[in-house]
Amino acid sequence: ASVFENVAAAPADVIFALTADYQADPNTSKVNLGVGAYRTEEGKPWVLPVVHKADKILVDDEYLDHEYLPILGLKKFRDASAKLVLGADSNAIAEGRVGSAQCISGTGAVYTGAHFLSKHYPFKGAACYISKPTWANHRAIFEGVGIPVLEYPYWDPATKGLDLKGMLGAMENAPSGSIFLLHPCAHNPTGVDPTLEQWKQIADVMEAKGHFTFFDTAYQGFASGSLDKDAASIRYFVERGFEMFIAQSFSKNFGLYSERAGNLTVVARTPEIKNTIESQIAKAQRAVISNPPAYGSRVVSLVLNDEKLYGEWTENLATMANRIIAMRQALFDELKKLGTPGTWNHIVDQIGMFSFTGLTTPQVKVLKEKYHVYLTDNGRISMAGLNTKNVEYFAQAVDDVVR
Ligand code: PMP
């Protein structure tokens, strides 16, 4: 008999299962709109030209070794990451109260921040509020470290936009000192972001209630094409004096999905508190991963710390962002041409990698079974999966299922 006989099997991860189903489908018209990874016009993964360049520089660097990184990771990478998100002219950085830890990509950064809060957040039993809907891993990560998870309204199905009133109401009603997980740009899965004016209202309530801000930024530069614009909400909160955690991922904006390059940026009240937080994170990190992997952080660090490469990176980012924006327009135009019932403005209004189409779970099922189009049950599509060759086919399939 096995000691594990009574262990119940866990369900497969929905997104990864969807990719596996797509790959196993022999149909030649199949379309994968599931996973949030950039694809070219040919439907292929894209190694950013600037990353390819960095790869070559690294492989030829005879001084590079395979020694351990420090527990908190590559210092040049951490500093550049913080500067990227907070701005080169950030007062918080100048005041020496910004800390960081290199983590296992964005997921690891959310985990590391959540784990720290589970041990050291002073309001015992405080819940983490996540948007409804959100990236499924948010709930899994916070619950995994023992922090209760509650939801705040976000998506308004009637307007296919932001439910600001519901969001602010939930913030007002939450016990003081609750933790709020916010997407600073390119909200996953809805593609709906607050405007700067709305962020001000959000900050007002967050401040009045003494809530803790936890930003998760996985799409900086990818949403609007501008790195600064995509960080505006975060910088605004920092200017207003919030303490906060910021989980950063370089999976999407560098196309480094498998390299797991991420950072947890900590904006603390004072340099002393920053040092204390870093010391505790280092202690915890030692017991989980010991120290982070070097390669992805070397690529990112090389590009962020070199003016010329940085310039090339912003061009590569614009290429991705602009192709996605063009696909939004193409899909919208096709649906309009077909006279597809319903309003579809949200397809062009939403930003970032995803669109929350409003398609229902039964409609998604028909798309998959009849048309071999793969997307998540909540009707989210990854815009990067569309290209000029399949957008018409997809629009016709949508037209059919909504009629
Ligand atoms: N947060 C959000 C909202 C995301 O969409 C993602 C990627 N799907 C991540 C974090 C983290 O991704 P990764 O661990 O690959 O950096």
Q: Is the ipTM of this complex over 0.95?
A: yes
Mean pLDDT of the chain: 96
Predicted local distance difference test score (pLDDT) of residue 179: 98
CA of 107 to the centre of ligand 1 (A): 6
Instruction: Compute the average pLDDT of residues 227-251.
Output: 98
Is the beta carbon of 188 within 6 A of some atom in ligand 1?
A: yes
In this prediction, residue 199 has a pLDDT band, given cuts at 50, 70 and 90, of very high
Confirm whether 65 is a catalytic residue: no
Which ligand 1 atom is the nearest neighbour of the CA of 107? 14
Percent with pLDDT over 90 in the chain: 96
**What one-letter code names the amino acid at 46?**
W
Pairing of strands 155-156, 161-162: antiparallel
Residue closest via CA to ligand 1's atom 11 equals: 106
Q: Are 222 and 253 in contact (CB under 8 A)?
A: yes
Question: Which of 53, 160, 252, 274 is flagged as catalytic?
Answer: 252
Is the beta carbon of 142 within 6 A of some atom in ligand 1?
A: no
pLDDT in tens, 56-97: 999 999 999 999 999 999 999 999 999 999 999 999 999 999
Which ligand 1 atom is the nearest neighbour of the CA of 36? 8
Is the beta carbon of 111 within 6 A of some atom in ligand 1?
A: no
Residue 118 clears pLDDT 90, i.e. is over it: yes
Is the beta carbon of 34 within 6 A of some atom in ligand 1?
A: no
* Helix/strand/coil percent split, the chain, to 5: 50, 15, 40
Residue closest via CA to ligand 1's atom 16 equals: 106
Is the beta carbon of 194 within 6 A of some atom in ligand 1?
A: no
Confirm whether 252 is a catalytic residue: yes
CA of 234 to the centre of ligand 1 (A): 17
CA of 338 to the centre of ligand 1 (A): 35
pLDDT in tens, 353-376: 999 999 999 999 999 999 999 999
User: What does DSSP assign to residue 145?
Assistant: T
Confirm whether 135 is a catalytic residue: yes
Instruction: Read off the tokens for 220.
Output: 């900086």
pLDDT in tens, 301-355: 999 999 999 999 999 999 999 999 999 999 999 999 999 999 999 999 999 999 9
Is the beta carbon of 135 within 6 A of some atom in ligand 1?
A: yes
Predicted local distance difference test score (pLDDT) of residue 128: 98
Residue closest via CA to ligand 1's atom 6 equals: 218
Query: What's 264-323 look like in SS3?
Result: EEEECCCHHHHHHHHHHHHHHHHHHCCCCCCHHHHHHHHHHCCHHHHHHHHHHHHHHHHH
What is the dihedral angle through the alpha carbons of 56, 58, 62, 66, rounded to the nearest 10 degrees?
-140
Question: Which of 46, 53, 160, 216 is flagged as catalytic?
Answer: 216
CA of 238 to the centre of ligand 1 (A): 22
Nearest to 86 by CA among 190, 239, 194: 239
Please choose from 105, 132, 137 the residue to mutate so as to test ligand 1's pocket, defined by most ligand atoms within 8 A of CB.
Answer: 137
CA atoms of 331 and 271, how far apart (whole Å): 49
In this prediction, residue 224 has a pLDDT band, given cuts at 50, 70 and 90, of confident
Residue closest via CA to ligand 1's atom 13 equals: 106
- What separation, in Å, do the N-terminal and C-terminal C-alpha atoms of the chain show? 55
**203-210 long-range CB contacts below 8 Å, 24 or more apart?**
203/236, 203/237, 203/240, 203/242, 205/168, 205/171, 205/172, 206/171, 206/180, 206/237, 206/242, 207/240, 207/242, 209/171, 209/172, 209/174, 209/176, 209/177, 209/178, 210/176, 210/177
